[in-house]
Amino acid sequence: MSHKMKDRLAIFDLDGTLIDTLMINYESYRIAMEEVGLEFTLEFYRDHCFGKNYRDFLPEVLGGDQALVKKVHDRKLEMYLKCFDMGQVNQTLKDFIFSCHDTYHMVVATTATRVNVEAILKHFGLYDHIERIYAQEDVSHFKPDPEIFYLAMRDFGVDEDHTVIFEDSKVGLEAAHATKASVFRIESF
């Protein structure tokens, strides 16, 4: 039996695309904010924060207090690992990953931290099916900059004509479209 080499790349955003993490992230932040005496509503989080790196919204929310930003973010990371049951996997994308792994390299490209990405992929049974994780530690520019997608394409030697990117957020879609790869917008599960 001949083994066909993979010549295609599928890149999945994590939050809101591969896994509906809105409530996981929100509850983690809500608890962390409450502990420092601040109210944090779901509507505000969904409309102004979700899909963005914490550096792009937390300093403003916390009045530029860097020590407080670190404290809240560190606590959020702790709580995130305890809130996975509030999330939901995108079963269609999970099926795609399981059924197309012979022809596609499967990677995750996210602004989340590597430790949390690994933990949530394990929780939802996807970790062993993803070849590589590109996380916030791997890039110097976050989405809407396409750096993370170009990094994956370069590492796997796959050009934009053989790459498909799955995204949901405005900044993620902007970054994906900049690569000229095929882009699928995830709107709901």
Does the pLDDT of residue 140 top 50, yes or no?
yes
CB 180 within 8 A of CB 187: no
| Cα radius of gyration rounded to whole Å, the chain | 17
Q: What is the pTM of this model?
A: 0.89
Query: Which pLDDT score, from 0 to 100, does residue 122 have?
Result: 97
**What pLDDT shows up at residue 188?**
85
DSSP-based three-state secondary structure for 187 = coil
Neighbours of 61 (CB within 10 A): 19
Could you tell me if 125 and 26 are in contact, meaning their C-beta atoms sit under 8 angstroms apart? no
Tell me, what DSSP letter sits at residue 15? Answer: B
Place of tokens 């900059």: 145
Res. 102: pLDDT tops 50: yes
What integer is the mean pLDDT of 85-109?
Answer: 97
Query: Got the DSSP string for 50-80?
Result: TTS-GGGTHHHHTTT-HHHHHHHHHHHHHHH
pLDDT tens digit string along 67-88? 999 999 999 999 999 999 999 9
